[in-house]
Amino acid sequence: MPPGRVDPIRLALAQVNPRVGDLEGNAAKLTEYVERARDAGAELVLFPELAVTGYPPEDLLLKEHFLRAAEEALRHVAAAAQGIVALVGSPERADDVYNALAVCVEGQVVARYRKSVLPNYGVFDEERYFQAGEGGAVLELDDLRLGLTICEDLWTPGPPASDEALAGAALLVNASASPYHAGKGIRRELMMVQRARDNLCSLAFCNLVGGQDELVFDGHSLLLDHDGEVLARAPQFAETLLVGTVDPQAAITARLRDARLRPPVRRQLPQVTQLGRLPRPERVPPQPGDLGGEVTPLLDEVSEVYAALVLGVRDYVAKNGFSHAVLGLSGGIDSALVLLVAADALGADGVTAVVMPSRYSSEGTQSDARAMAANLGVRCLDIPIAPAMETYEAMLADVFAGREEDLTEENLQARIRGNLLMALSNKFGWLVLTTGNKSENSVGYSTLYGDSAGGFAVIKDVEKTLVYRLVAERARRDPESPVPESIVTRPPSAELRAEQKDSDSLPDYDTLDAILSAYVEDDADREQLELAGLPPAAIDRVFSLVDRAEYKRRQAPPGIKITPRAFGRDRRMPITNGYRPR
């Protein structure tokens, strides 16, 4: 360690929301943030993982022309790094492809750190795209040593971070693209706290924010001291430049009294690359009281999910070039939640609701639907589906002669609605939002090309019981709730045949959701569920329904992941599957 005192450093975390693949747009955004960071007096600005390309770029990373264009975009950002050091996440095409953090200074890329721990589980496929780097790396800014890490690198308690700390890093930086699920933010923060404490390092964690297909990145960037104290916290679900000051000397001093980072551990030579020594940019020295920065409080657990849904919808719509969404509004709780989210994401002018009563729709549900749209100031169209249903019945009368009514007729009604919404989408360029929840998707309680037809499935990963809590929370925040009370209190029904109730064919939703989260998210077996007190008959029925509905889920639109394990890229099951858990 150097003999002199290491000066405090003012740094900026650029919690940005790039668009995957939009290299020019992203470069412009990043450039703007570099300039804002410098204007805010920061010596260093840290960007998220792969900020230049957006995350995850998936198979774009297999295209040489894309990698070339990303490198050009990175150089464009680097050109703006004048009088400030910018650490910018971008792919590196060398002998292989690396997930890298580029050190940009005086207009140039002067060094790169290569991510050394590649996640290849859950939603991650990084072994498909990247070669792993060869361990940690230390960058010196005069006498301040920074340890560089990228996302997963810091999710393991050992190297590369521990090696970097042993090599003298007093400040760890972590560039992340860490996707959201409910409750993950606080667990990640607690982990970061422990990493800071275990390594006796200050820690700067900059996370991506924004929606990308099924993923939402929640931001929640952090500046921690070596004791794990939160010096600054960026808001969840919003773009921000978080600026704060840390005192690395405090970590260096702490190491004298805390033996853990001194011999004998030191005798194991840490595996790190020395990225070189740069002069610290000229800055106004921090003033007394400058330590830390703004600490945004965390959202409660239900508001957090709601915010994730709003951001997910807003970004999917905008990033795919839409400006307006449409949904079928039934008077039930699911479409009510989707309408609330859509109106909050896009504004009341950005949504159209369509009420499409069938012959089984009650007056109550229809008038609730219309009332809710009116309360929100959302335009509401009314298109009864009976004429189309009657026509189909006539067209199929010969072929179906002698057959009873069954699910066929229920599905036809749902598909007529799907057709109408898609016709509106085609004619007016609106994005169709679907309204099915995770409990229904899990057990296949939906109609393919019917209620599941659309561009974005807003609540596909939200279990029914959470749907109720989200609506209640949204109502609580609004003194004049737009949601008619009867939407919340009426027993759930698809209204596709007379007197239909969800509870006719499914366990109650508390039981259903308990079984589902254990089976779908935790891969639990029957014994585990019985031990938890769940009824054996319901367990068997739900397992079987989940397994048999895979073919429907495979054709479902993308939607926002809010649980630890969403259907889709997160849970990859064969359709053709003879396995039946005993």
Q: At closest approach, how far in Å is the CB of 49 from a second copy?
A: 16
In the complex with a second copy, the residue whose CB is nearer, 266 or 554, is 554
Q: Which of 29, 43, 49, 189 is catalytic?
A: 49
Q: How far apart are CA 184 and CA 216, in angstroms?
A: 12
Q: At closest approach, how far in Å is the CB of 434 from a second copy?
A: 11
Residues contacting 414, CB < 8 A, separation 6+: 446, 447, 450, 451, 494, 496
In the complex with a second copy, the residue whose CB is nearer, 282 or 398, is 398
Q: Which of 29, 115, 319, 552 is catalytic?
A: 115
Window 181 to 220, contacts with a second copy (CB under 8 A): 211-213
Q: Tell me how far CA of residue 359 lies from CA of 83, 408, 414, in angstroms.
A: 70, 15, 12
Q: How far apart are CA 323 and CA 436, in angstroms?
A: 22
In the complex with a second copy, the residue whose CB is nearer, 477 or 572, is 572
Among 110, 295, 371, 381, indicate the residue that binds a second copy (CB under 8 A): 381
Catalytic residue check, 49 = yes
Among 315, 461, 463, 502, indicate the residue that binds a second copy (CB under 8 A): 315
Q: Which of 104, 151, 201, 380 is catalytic?
A: 151
Q: At closest approach, how far in Å is the CB of 527 from a second copy?
A: 9
Window 387 to 416, contacts with a second copy (CB under 8 A): 387-388, 390-392, 394-396, 399-400, 403, 406-408, 411-412, 415-416
Q: Closest Cα to residue 190, out of 233, 130, 243, 131? A: 233
Strands 9-15 and 44-46: parallel
Asked whether 407 and 445 are in contact (CB, 8 A), the reply is: no
Residue 165 binds to a second copy (criterion: CB under 8 A):
no
Q: At closest approach, how far in Å is the CB of 412 from a second copy?
A: 6
Number of Cβ within 10 Å of residue 32's Cβ equals 15
Q: How far apart are CA 373 and CA 338, in angstroms?
A: 12
Asked whether 192 and 205 are in contact (CB, 8 A), the reply is: yes
In the complex with a second copy, the residue whose CB is nearer, 64 or 363, is 64
Contact pattern for a second copy over residues 418 through 447, marking x by CB under 8 A: xxx-xxx-xx--------------------
Catalytic residue check, 151 = yes
In the complex with a second copy, the residue whose CB is nearer, 268 or 505, is 505
Catalytic residue check, 63 = no
Q: At closest approach, how far in Å is the CB of 347 from a second copy?
A: 21
Instruction: Tell me whether residue 21 is exposed, middle or buried, using C-beta atoms within 10 angstroms of its C-beta: 0 to 12, 13 to 18, 19 or more.
Output: middle
Exposure of 61 in the CB half-sphere (CA atoms within 13 A): 25
In the complex with a second copy, the residue whose CB is nearer, 257 or 427, is 427
Phi–psi pair at 268, nearest 5 degrees: -75, 115
Residue 531 binds to a second copy (criterion: CB under 8 A):
no
Window 33 to 92, contacts with a second copy (CB under 8 A): 54, 56-60, 62-66, 69
Residue 532 binds to a second copy (criterion: CB under 8 A):
no
Among 41, 133, 159, 557, indicate the residue that binds a second copy (CB under 8 A): 557
Angle at 247 between CA 208 and CA 36, to 5 degrees: 45
Q: At closest approach, how far in Å is the CB of 236 from a second copy?
A: 21
DSSP 364-413: HHHHHHHHHHHHHT-EEEE---HHHHHHHHHHHTTTTTTPPP-HHHHHHH
Strands 240-246 and 215-218: unpaired
Q: At closest approach, how far in Å is the CB of 562 from a second copy?
A: 18
Among 155, 360, 449, 468, indicate the residue that binds a second copy (CB under 8 A): 449
Residue tagged 């989210």 (tokens) = 341
DSSP annotation of 144: E
Window 125 to 144, contacts with a second copy (CB under 8 A): 125, 127-128
Size of the site for a second copy (CB under 8 A): 83
DSSP annotation of 519: I
In the complex with a second copy, the residue whose CB is nearer, 300 or 382, is 382
**Which residues form the catalytic set?**
49, 115, 151
